[in-house]
Amino acid sequence: MTYYIGVDTGGTFTDVVILDDKGTIIFDKALSTPDNPALGVMNALTNAAALLNTEVETVLADAARFAHGTTVATNALINRRGAKVGLITTVGFEDTTIIARGPMGRTLGVPIEQTLDYIYTERAEPLVPKALIRGIRERVDLEGDVIAPINRADVEQAVKELLAEGVDSIAVCLMWSFRNRNHEDVIKETIGSIGNGTHVSLSSEVAPVIGEFERANTAIVNAYVAPRLASYINDLQERLGAQGFKWPLQVMKNSGGACLPSRIGREAVSIIDSGPVAGLVAAQYFGKILGYDNVLATDMGGTSFDVGVIYRGEPAEEKMPFVDHGLPVRAPRVKEVGIGAGGGSIAWTEGQRLMVGPQSAGASPGPVCYGQGGTAPTVTDALVVLGILDPDNFFGGRMKLDKAAAEAAIQERVAGPLNMTVLEAAAGIYDIVTAKMADLIRKVTVESGYDPREFALFAYGGASPAHVVQYGAALGIKEMIVPHSSAVFSALGCVLSDVKFIYEHSDPLYVEETQEFIDAFNGAFNDLEARVLSDVAASGIGADEIFLVRRLEVRYEGQFNEFTIPWHEGALSFDTMGQIRKEFEERYEARFGQGASRSIHPLEVITFRMEAVKATEKPAIAQVEEAKNNEGVDLAKVGTRPVYLRRYGQLEAVVYDYDHLRAGHTLEGPAIIQRRDTLILVPPGYKATIDGYQNTRISAIEG
């Protein structure tokens, strides 16, 4: 048997999926271990191996791939536990990251509530303080021509001063280096000769695009998280190798692809917040095989709720992602929007209103009902009190929950101060967090020109299935799908991801029907292709193992924001020139409405992008035979349970054991489908059907 393994480390749980060569999915999870994430990974692997009645060593020895979504880079940034970074820039531009660009340093990259409270929103502390920034004499102009040669004495002095300050990572961002990187290469060589292994991040490598503030921050963030991330990946690789794994592990990126360990140093910035993106990869895969081009991917875990959009089969992109307060980066990234709304989100009141989140109890101490020292009531505590969650069957029965403690916490912190019953308060917690999720989906779709009624909705993460019908119905969604592996869907996405190399190069050009434009256009892609093929070969991958995807960032002349469009036409010619405007204006009108495009207005191509994709080996997900005429569905019933929902009052829900449901089975609400990894709530008026992939597909009962 050959195995393909995906592991995703979350704030509360570490999830593992093992796909065998027959397309069968085996999955499990373990509590995350933030102080030593590798321990949580190995614990999850041990649990999954037990389901196969074998040992971790056997699974790893027979594994052909191990793909990992990790929070190490994210946590290093959020907790400010990254490397001590110095910055080298062009003399006269030392204050670029201190000044920031407009309001970016003050209001962007923070929750909307904080943004609106502008007076009391402070500027973000830069990752590199002024004392660790050095300017050197050099200058390249916008055409890439050298105006002032680099002063090597300045470079040596700057490097020695920064090393004396104790920096262990250096970011380099020179003016217009994306047009001519030679001066940055000189600095890298100098650091290599005297830096004693100091990590270097060049802006011309990590973000060769226009915009010195964003480019500098991208290099800085990469320099900040790369050493810690590389150390973790090396440690995990050694642990896996010691137990039989023979191949380089692959790390999930927030572009939706995976990178190899050898490229961590230059792609670390692309790994921040990459775990949730893997869920979109899985949603895209299942959307395709189920016949949906438009998919809303919703992920509710222990600490957050994330939403992504797949439109016409492709995930939406984030044009200017912020990895933290005041820290924009220029790295291709699938768009996902999140809020603090998870199973561990804390319910609280100031005495007048009931609020939920964004604070979270996290994995430790966790919800009150976990019995691990938590005192603040959470969404999970509310689910226990409402009867939605069975305290004796949590985590497959491996963890007993304390309902009485949950009731006491809600009474003390919420119900008492608001003069409500415990049931009313718990129902309020459930409704508020569900409404917040519906509002976020509405924002992500409607504000971007999408009609949510035209989408299927995938609900995954450990907590989403208990809420999905409520927030899906609020948006008019016709079908809601809880995948078979919903609780570990991002880990499955890691397995289904491909290795992806992405290169960008800004070379602003007006779109003109001239041979000069055609030559410049084709030349830009030819240069990118040469870089791609060189790096792919250096990574041990043959040119015949990849396929190339070309994209353009285009805007109307005078605008500040670009749209990314695909370019499938190969070399540009006069015959294909019109395709640029056609692709751009189709997307422009989809975003801003019919008639918003201006066909007579000049276009600019700002950035060229090339993606080299190595499709990984992955067996097709196996289907199972469907039962006829709902035969055997009653065998899955394990009893009933009282459930309280504000909209319906007290209900008696039929409880089904998912392990005894078969493909083809249909059941009607009120019902609870109980699984070892999650539970699915089917309210009155809805039906749930198990399909051939063992997904649970929920829709309203007609009539």
Q: What angle do CA 155, 158, 162 make, to 5 degrees?
A: 140
pLDDT confidence tier of residue 92, bands split at 50, 70 and 90: very high
Higher-pLDDT residue of 113, 333: 333
Tens digits of residue pLDDT in 260-280: 998 999 999 999 988 889 999
Structural contact between residues 93 and 275, judged by C-beta atoms closer than 8 angstroms: no
Domain 499-614 has CATH 3.20.20: no
Average pLDDT over residues 113-137: 82
Average pLDDT over residues 68-93: 93
pLDDT confidence tier of residue 205, bands split at 50, 70 and 90: very high
Average pLDDT over residues 506-520: 94
pLDDT at 8: 93
CA 504 to chain centre: 20
> From CA 66, how far away is CA 25, in angstroms rounded?
15
Q: Is the pLDDT of residue 119 over 80?
A: no
Q: Is the pLDDT of residue 466 over 70?
A: yes
Backbone angles phi, psi at 368, to 5 degrees: -60, -40
Neighbours of 166 (CB within 10 A): 9
What 8-state DSSP symbol labels residue 452? Answer: G
> From CA 408, how far away is CA 422, in angstroms rounded?
8
pLDDT at 380: 94
CA 362 to chain centre: 18
Structural contact between residues 507 and 517, judged by C-beta atoms closer than 8 angstroms: no
pLDDT at 118: 62
Tens digits of residue pLDDT in 36-53: 899 999 999 999 999 999
pLDDT confidence tier of residue 252, bands split at 50, 70 and 90: very high
Q: Is the pLDDT of residue 396 over 70?
A: no
Average pLDDT over residues 344-373: 88
pLDDT confidence tier of residue 331, bands split at 50, 70 and 90: confident
Higher-pLDDT residue of 590, 310: 310
pLDDT at 115: 64
How buried is 541 (Cβ within 10 angstroms: 0-12 exposed, 13-18 middle, 19+ buried)?
Answer: middle
Tens digits of residue pLDDT in 551-578: 999 999 988 888 889 999 899 999 999 9
Q: Is 160 helix (H, G, I), strand (E, B) or coil?
A: helix
Q: Is the pLDDT of residue 11 over 80?
A: no
Domain 3-76+230-271 has CATH 3.30.420.40: yes
pLDDT at 416: 94
Q: Is the pLDDT of residue 114 over 70?
A: no
Closest by alpha carbon to 281, among 321, 318, 252, 249?
Answer: 252
- By residue count, the chain amounts to 703
pLDDT confidence tier of residue 113, bands split at 50, 70 and 90: low
* Amino acid identity for residue 235 in this structure: D
pLDDT at 151: 94
pLDDT confidence tier of residue 670, bands split at 50, 70 and 90: very high
Q: Is the pLDDT of residue 496 over 70?
A: yes
> From CA 462, how far away is CA 534, in angstroms rounded?
42
Query: Could you give the percent of the chain with pLDDT greater than 90?
Result: 71
Q: Is the pLDDT of residue 665 over 90?
A: yes
Beta bridge partners of 13: 31
Domains in the chain: boundaries: 3-76+230-271, 83-225, 345-432, 499-614, 633-700
Q: Is the pLDDT of residue 395 over 80?
A: no
How buried is 582 (Cβ within 10 angstroms: 0-12 exposed, 13-18 middle, 19+ buried)?
Answer: exposed
Least confident of 28-37, 134-143, 670-679: 28-37
pLDDT at 40: 93
CA 364 to chain centre: 23
Query: What is the residue whose two structure tokens read 């499709």?
Result: 615
